[in-house]
Amino acid sequence: MITDIHIHFCAADRFDELLQFCAEAGINRAGLVSLPDKKNGNFNSAVQKAFKSAPEKFIGFGCLDHRRERTEKNGAMQVEELYNEGFKGLKLLLGKPAAEDEFKLEMESSYIAGALKAAANLNMPVLFHIADPPDHFPKQPPGTFSRWIERGVELFSNFPETTFITAHLLFLAGGLSNLSRIMETLPNLYLDTAPGRWFYRPLSENKDAATNFFNCYADRLLLGSDSIFVSPDITTYPMLGIEENNRTIRRINRFLSAGEHEIIDDPYPGNGGGWLACLNLDKAVIKKITRTNADRFFKDA
Ligand SMILES: [Zn+2]
Protein backbone atom coordinates (compact mmCIF):
# COMPACT_ATOMS: atom_id res chain seq x y z
CA MET A 1 0.00 0.00 0.00
CA ILE A 2 1.16 3.54 -0.71
CA THR A 3 0.46 7.13 0.35
CA ASP A 4 0.03 9.63 -2.48
CA ILE A 5 0.53 13.15 -1.14
CA HIS A 6 -0.60 14.95 -4.30
CA ILE A 7 -4.00 14.14 -5.85
CA HIS A 8 -6.09 17.05 -7.12
CA PHE A 9 -9.69 16.43 -6.19
CA CYS A 10 -11.85 19.20 -7.61
CA ALA A 11 -15.17 17.50 -8.38
CA ALA A 12 -17.23 16.31 -5.41
CA ASP A 13 -19.39 14.11 -7.67
CA ARG A 14 -16.32 12.07 -8.66
CA PHE A 15 -15.78 10.77 -5.12
CA ASP A 16 -16.71 7.17 -5.98
CA GLU A 17 -14.24 7.32 -8.86
CA LEU A 18 -11.56 8.59 -6.46
CA LEU A 19 -12.19 5.62 -4.15
CA GLN A 20 -12.06 3.22 -7.08
CA PHE A 21 -8.79 4.77 -8.27
CA CYS A 22 -7.25 4.48 -4.81
CA ALA A 23 -8.31 0.84 -4.56
CA GLU A 24 -6.87 0.00 -7.99
CA ALA A 25 -3.61 1.90 -7.43
CA GLY A 26 -3.06 0.52 -3.91
CA ILE A 27 -3.35 3.99 -2.34
CA ASN A 28 -4.07 3.61 1.34
CA ARG A 29 -3.94 7.30 2.20
CA ALA A 30 -3.77 10.46 0.14
CA GLY A 31 -3.32 14.21 0.33
CA LEU A 32 -6.20 15.72 -1.61
CA VAL A 33 -5.16 19.01 -3.12
CA SER A 34 -7.38 21.91 -4.14
CA LEU A 35 -6.55 24.32 -6.97
CA PRO A 36 -7.16 28.06 -7.29
CA ASP A 37 -9.92 29.19 -9.62
CA LYS A 38 -10.39 32.70 -10.96
CA LYS A 39 -14.17 32.44 -11.12
CA ASN A 40 -15.10 30.53 -7.98
CA GLY A 41 -12.00 31.08 -5.84
CA ASN A 42 -10.94 27.45 -5.45
CA PHE A 43 -12.16 23.85 -5.25
CA ASN A 44 -11.86 23.54 -1.47
CA SER A 45 -15.44 22.34 -0.96
CA ALA A 46 -14.84 19.18 -3.04
CA VAL A 47 -11.67 18.41 -1.06
CA GLN A 48 -13.43 19.05 2.23
CA LYS A 49 -16.36 16.81 1.35
CA ALA A 50 -13.95 13.99 0.51
CA PHE A 51 -11.83 14.17 3.68
CA LYS A 52 -14.94 14.47 5.84
CA SER A 53 -16.36 11.35 4.16
CA ALA A 54 -13.19 9.29 4.73
CA PRO A 55 -11.07 11.01 7.40
CA GLU A 56 -8.92 7.93 8.01
CA LYS A 57 -7.92 7.92 4.35
CA PHE A 58 -7.66 11.53 3.21
CA ILE A 59 -6.22 14.84 4.36
CA GLY A 60 -6.88 18.11 2.55
CA PHE A 61 -4.59 20.84 1.22
CA GLY A 62 -6.78 23.92 0.77
CA CYS A 63 -6.19 26.89 -1.50
CA LEU A 64 -6.58 30.56 -0.71
CA ASP A 65 -9.32 32.43 -2.52
CA HIS A 66 -7.10 34.98 -4.25
CA ARG A 67 -10.08 37.26 -4.96
CA ARG A 68 -10.07 38.13 -1.26
CA GLU A 69 -6.60 39.65 -1.56
CA ARG A 70 -8.33 42.84 -2.78
CA THR A 71 -10.06 43.39 0.55
CA GLU A 72 -7.83 41.55 3.03
CA LYS A 73 -4.26 42.66 3.52
CA ASN A 74 -3.14 39.42 5.14
CA GLY A 75 -3.71 35.81 4.08
CA ALA A 76 -3.48 34.57 7.67
CA MET A 77 -7.24 34.81 8.19
CA GLN A 78 -7.94 32.43 5.32
CA VAL A 79 -5.37 29.92 6.57
CA GLU A 80 -7.00 29.99 10.01
CA GLU A 81 -10.37 29.37 8.37
CA LEU A 82 -8.94 26.41 6.46
CA TYR A 83 -7.54 25.00 9.68
CA ASN A 84 -10.91 25.38 11.43
CA GLU A 85 -12.61 23.65 8.49
CA GLY A 86 -10.34 20.62 8.99
CA PHE A 87 -7.72 21.18 6.31
CA LYS A 88 -4.27 19.88 7.28
CA GLY A 89 -2.26 21.79 4.68
CA LEU A 90 -2.16 24.69 2.28
CA LYS A 91 -1.64 24.56 -1.51
CA LEU A 92 -0.05 27.47 -3.38
CA LEU A 93 0.43 27.59 -7.14
CA LEU A 94 1.88 31.09 -7.46
CA GLY A 95 5.45 30.08 -8.29
CA LYS A 96 5.07 30.13 -12.06
CA PRO A 97 4.45 32.79 -14.68
CA ALA A 98 0.96 31.64 -15.78
CA ALA A 99 -0.37 31.56 -12.20
CA GLU A 100 1.23 34.85 -11.21
CA ASP A 101 -0.32 36.49 -14.31
CA GLU A 102 -3.71 34.92 -13.84
CA PHE A 103 -4.13 35.89 -10.19
CA LYS A 104 -2.13 39.14 -10.37
CA LEU A 105 -0.38 38.17 -7.18
CA GLU A 106 3.31 37.63 -6.44
CA MET A 107 4.50 34.94 -4.06
CA GLU A 108 6.61 37.59 -2.24
CA SER A 109 3.54 39.72 -1.39
CA SER A 110 2.75 40.55 2.24
CA TYR A 111 -0.55 38.76 1.71
CA ILE A 112 1.21 35.45 1.05
CA ALA A 113 3.73 36.16 3.84
CA GLY A 114 0.81 36.31 6.29
CA ALA A 115 -0.49 32.98 5.00
CA LEU A 116 2.93 31.32 5.30
CA LYS A 117 3.39 32.54 8.87
CA ALA A 118 -0.07 31.31 9.84
CA ALA A 119 0.67 27.93 8.24
CA ALA A 120 3.78 27.64 10.43
CA ASN A 121 1.82 28.56 13.59
CA LEU A 122 -0.85 25.98 12.80
CA ASN A 123 1.65 23.33 11.74
CA MET A 124 0.18 23.12 8.25
CA PRO A 125 2.61 22.06 5.49
CA VAL A 126 2.53 24.17 2.33
CA LEU A 127 2.50 22.28 -0.96
CA PHE A 128 4.10 24.85 -3.24
CA HIS A 129 4.42 24.75 -7.00
CA ILE A 130 7.61 26.50 -8.15
CA ALA A 131 8.53 26.78 -11.86
CA ASP A 132 7.69 24.27 -14.59
CA PRO A 133 9.89 22.00 -16.72
CA PRO A 134 12.98 24.01 -17.79
CA ASP A 135 12.06 23.86 -21.49
CA HIS A 136 8.96 25.98 -20.77
CA PHE A 137 11.08 29.04 -19.97
CA PRO A 138 12.91 31.67 -22.04
CA LYS A 139 16.69 31.40 -22.17
CA GLN A 140 17.15 35.12 -21.44
CA PRO A 141 16.41 37.05 -18.21
CA PRO A 142 14.28 38.19 -16.46
CA GLY A 143 11.87 35.23 -16.74
CA THR A 144 14.38 32.39 -16.89
CA PHE A 145 13.94 29.02 -15.19
CA SER A 146 16.79 29.66 -12.74
CA ARG A 147 15.29 33.01 -11.72
CA TRP A 148 12.02 31.29 -10.70
CA ILE A 149 13.95 28.70 -8.71
CA GLU A 150 15.94 31.46 -6.96
CA ARG A 151 12.73 33.28 -6.06
CA GLY A 152 11.29 30.10 -4.57
CA VAL A 153 14.41 29.30 -2.56
CA GLU A 154 14.61 32.85 -1.25
CA LEU A 155 10.97 32.75 -0.19
CA PHE A 156 11.38 29.41 1.61
CA SER A 157 14.48 30.65 3.40
CA ASN A 158 12.51 33.65 4.71
CA PHE A 159 10.06 31.29 6.46
CA PRO A 160 12.25 28.73 8.26
CA GLU A 161 9.39 27.76 10.60
CA THR A 162 7.10 26.80 7.71
CA THR A 163 7.23 23.28 6.25
CA PHE A 164 7.28 23.34 2.45
CA ILE A 165 6.69 20.48 0.07
CA THR A 166 7.69 21.51 -3.41
CA ALA A 167 6.01 19.56 -6.10
CA HIS A 168 7.80 17.92 -9.04
CA LEU A 169 11.27 17.61 -7.43
CA LEU A 170 11.43 21.41 -7.80
CA PHE A 171 11.96 20.72 -11.53
CA LEU A 172 15.65 20.23 -10.76
CA ALA A 173 16.09 16.60 -11.76
CA GLY A 174 18.49 17.97 -14.39
CA GLY A 175 20.48 19.87 -11.74
CA LEU A 176 20.87 17.48 -8.83
CA SER A 177 23.95 19.17 -7.36
CA ASN A 178 22.00 22.44 -7.18
CA LEU A 179 19.03 20.59 -5.71
CA SER A 180 21.27 18.95 -3.08
CA ARG A 181 22.65 22.37 -2.15
CA ILE A 182 19.08 23.69 -1.77
CA MET A 183 18.10 20.69 0.39
CA GLU A 184 21.11 21.35 2.62
CA THR A 185 20.24 25.06 2.93
CA LEU A 186 16.56 24.46 3.66
CA PRO A 187 15.91 21.78 6.27
CA ASN A 188 12.21 22.80 6.15
CA LEU A 189 11.87 21.55 2.56
CA TYR A 190 10.38 18.28 1.26
CA LEU A 191 10.05 17.30 -2.41
CA ASP A 192 7.37 15.30 -4.15
CA THR A 193 7.64 13.16 -7.27
CA ALA A 194 4.54 14.47 -9.03
CA PRO A 195 3.81 13.56 -11.79
CA GLY A 196 7.16 12.44 -13.03
CA ARG A 197 6.70 12.71 -16.77
CA TRP A 198 9.48 15.22 -17.47
CA PHE A 199 12.07 13.98 -14.96
CA TYR A 200 12.73 10.40 -16.05
CA ARG A 201 15.30 11.23 -18.70
CA PRO A 202 17.58 13.53 -16.63
CA LEU A 203 17.45 11.08 -13.70
CA SER A 204 18.00 8.03 -15.83
CA GLU A 205 20.89 9.58 -17.74
CA ASN A 206 22.62 10.41 -14.44
CA LYS A 207 21.62 7.25 -12.70
CA ASP A 208 24.41 7.15 -10.12
CA ALA A 209 23.86 10.76 -9.06
CA ALA A 210 20.10 10.16 -9.02
CA THR A 211 20.41 7.04 -6.86
CA ASN A 212 22.72 8.90 -4.45
CA PHE A 213 20.26 11.77 -4.26
CA PHE A 214 17.27 9.53 -3.50
CA ASN A 215 19.27 7.64 -0.87
CA CYS A 216 20.66 10.79 0.71
CA TYR A 217 17.28 12.55 0.98
CA ALA A 218 15.17 9.43 1.47
CA ASP A 219 13.54 11.01 4.55
CA ARG A 220 12.39 14.13 2.68
CA LEU A 221 10.96 12.73 -0.55
CA LEU A 222 7.28 11.95 -0.96
CA LEU A 223 5.36 10.03 -3.57
CA GLY A 224 2.97 12.34 -5.40
CA SER A 225 1.16 11.52 -8.62
CA ASP A 226 -0.53 14.83 -9.50
CA SER A 227 -3.57 12.74 -10.43
CA ILE A 228 -6.42 15.05 -11.20
CA PHE A 229 -10.18 14.80 -10.84
CA VAL A 230 -12.04 17.82 -12.22
CA SER A 231 -15.50 18.32 -13.73
CA PRO A 232 -15.82 18.08 -17.52
CA ASP A 233 -16.90 21.76 -17.66
CA ILE A 234 -13.57 22.94 -16.20
CA THR A 235 -11.25 23.82 -19.04
CA THR A 236 -8.39 25.45 -17.10
CA TYR A 237 -7.10 22.10 -15.78
CA PRO A 238 -6.83 18.81 -17.66
CA MET A 239 -9.29 16.04 -16.96
CA LEU A 240 -7.50 12.70 -16.68
CA GLY A 241 -9.30 9.40 -16.39
CA ILE A 242 -8.59 6.73 -13.79
CA GLU A 243 -6.54 4.78 -16.28
CA GLU A 244 -4.15 7.65 -17.02
CA ASN A 245 -3.82 8.47 -13.29
CA ASN A 246 -3.12 4.81 -12.60
CA ARG A 247 -0.49 4.61 -15.32
CA THR A 248 1.30 7.61 -13.74
CA ILE A 249 1.50 5.89 -10.34
CA ARG A 250 2.68 2.60 -11.80
CA ARG A 251 5.35 4.40 -13.83
CA ILE A 252 6.76 6.32 -10.82
CA ASN A 253 6.78 3.18 -8.70
CA ARG A 254 8.41 1.11 -11.39
CA PHE A 255 11.05 3.76 -12.11
CA LEU A 256 12.05 3.89 -8.44
CA SER A 257 12.00 0.18 -7.80
CA ALA A 258 12.64 -1.81 -10.96
CA GLY A 259 15.95 -3.55 -11.49
CA GLU A 260 19.02 -1.99 -13.01
CA HIS A 261 18.47 -3.39 -16.46
CA GLU A 262 14.74 -2.80 -16.61
CA ILE A 263 13.50 0.08 -18.67
CA ILE A 264 10.45 2.28 -19.06
CA ASP A 265 9.11 4.21 -22.01
CA ASP A 266 9.86 7.94 -21.69
CA PRO A 267 6.45 9.64 -21.41
CA TYR A 268 7.61 13.25 -21.82
CA PRO A 269 6.83 14.51 -25.34
CA GLY A 270 9.65 17.09 -25.21
CA ASN A 271 12.21 14.27 -24.93
CA GLY A 272 11.16 12.59 -28.16
CA GLY A 273 10.41 9.18 -26.60
CA GLY A 274 12.81 6.30 -26.14
CA TRP A 275 13.66 3.90 -23.33
CA LEU A 276 15.04 4.75 -19.92
CA ALA A 277 16.77 2.68 -17.26
CA CYS A 278 15.13 2.43 -13.81
CA LEU A 279 16.76 3.41 -10.49
CA ASN A 280 16.63 0.11 -8.60
CA LEU A 281 16.41 1.77 -5.15
CA ASP A 282 16.50 -0.27 -1.95
CA LYS A 283 13.19 -1.45 -0.53
CA ALA A 284 13.72 0.54 2.68
CA VAL A 285 14.20 3.78 0.73
CA ILE A 286 11.14 3.11 -1.41
CA LYS A 287 9.04 2.41 1.67
CA LYS A 288 9.97 5.80 3.11
CA ILE A 289 9.22 7.66 -0.11
CA THR A 290 6.01 5.87 -0.99
CA ARG A 291 4.59 5.56 2.50
CA THR A 292 6.15 6.38 5.83
CA ASN A 293 7.56 9.89 5.19
CA ALA A 294 4.01 11.16 4.72
CA ASP A 295 2.89 9.77 8.10
CA ARG A 296 3.75 12.99 9.92
CA PHE A 297 1.24 14.93 7.81
CA PHE A 298 -1.55 12.51 8.70
CA LYS A 299 -1.23 12.65 12.46
CA ASP A 300 -4.59 13.22 14.20
CA ALA A 301 -6.28 12.18 10.94
ZN1 LIG B 1 -0.39 19.45 -8.86
Could you tell me the domains of the chain? 2-241+282-298 (3.20.20.140)
Distance 59 CA to ligand 1 centre (A): 15
Neighbours of ion ligand 1 (CB under 5 A): 226
Distance 168 CA to ligand 1 centre (A): 8
pLDDT digits (tens, 9 = 90+) for 238-286: 878 889 899 999 999 999 998 777 777 777 777 777 778 889 999 999 9
Distance 208 CA to ligand 1 centre (A): 28
The per-residue pLDDT for 71 is 86
The pTM (predicted TM-score) of the whole model is 0.94
Contacts of 210-217 with CB under 8 Å at 24 or more apart are 210/173, 210/176, 210/279, 211/279, 211/280, 211/281, 213/176, 213/179, 213/180, 214/256, 214/279, 214/281, 214/285, 214/289, 215/281, 215/282, 215/285, 216/180, 217/180, 217/183, 217/191
User: Is 288's pLDDT higher than 90?
Assistant: yes
Distance 164 CA to ligand 1 centre (A): 14
Mean pLDDT value across the chain = 92
Distance 33 CA to ligand 1 centre (A): 7
Whether the CA torsion 155, 164, 20, 53 is positive or negative: it is negative
Distance 34 CA to ligand 1 centre (A): 9
Distance 143 CA to ligand 1 centre (A): 21
pLDDT digits (tens, 9 = 90+) for 159-172: 999 999 999 999 99
